[in-house]
Chain A
């Protein structure tokens, strides 16, 4: 099973700042089958990025994904008030599909 470790656990930033979230896999993620999701309290998760770097439909271009192999990054170029949430990475290259433990982006 591929274990995904996200860092930091919590990121305290102000609106307008840049957020950089990390996701490290215990072994290489085949095909760069790595996704990022955003979840707000009381809501279902929403797909942001798939294939490590492709934005899902309707996702603003301030969200970008990068990386390959075992190291992946989600970058939010300028935080908007609605971006404060929990973010999860997930690999779908090897069964069982697994999620990271999440990074909370909170208002500083």
Chain B
């Protein structure tokens, strides 16, 4: 079955960097757009970024543009989020999610999330 597993979260100081990973299985990874979505503690959902199936297209929320970079390795069935210049307001559970083959896609399947805490 379709599975997504995030890793790489943890405690980081303001201004620091962190790289999140999402390992997927159960579907042809290279056929799908993928996204990162986050949820601050006790808050709602915020879309962060997406990447197209062949990495040709990416898009970011204004709140992370210039600080976060999304990437993927289709040979390794893995999605990544490189986060830098981290701020306290980046503290959240980060979910990876599978889209579809189109740029306009809902989030079909979600991982269980990884917690990122930005604090001194």
Contacts and interface: CB of A to CB of B under 8 A. Distances in A.
Interface of A: 31, 33, 35, 37, 39, 43-47, 50-51, 56, 88, 90, 92-93, 95-102
Contact of A50 (B59, B106, B113): B106
B104 A96 contact: no
A47 B45 contact: no
Contacts of A93: 104
B10 to A, nearest CB: 19
A88 B113 CA distance: 17
B108 interface: yes
Given A31-B104, A51-B106, A56-B106, 15 more contacts: A35-B107, A37-B107, A39-B45, A44-B110, A45-B110, A46-B110, A47-B106, A47-B108, A90-B45, A90-B106, A92-B106, A96-B47, A97-B47, A99-B45, A102-B45
Contacts of A56: 106, 108
Contact of A44 (B104, B106, B111): B111
Contacts of A101: 44
A92 B105 contact: yes
A10 to B, nearest CB: 14
Interface residues of B, number: 19
20 contacts: A33-B104, A33-B106, A37-B45, A37-B107, A39-B45, A43-B112, A44-B95, A44-B111, A44-B112, A46-B110, A47-B106, A47-B107, A56-B106, A88-B44, A88-B45, A90-B106, A92-B106, A95-B59, A99-B44, A102-B44
A96 B111 CA distance: 21
B62 A96 contact: yes
B88 interface: no
Nearest to A95: B59
B11 interface: no
A31 B61 CA distance: 21
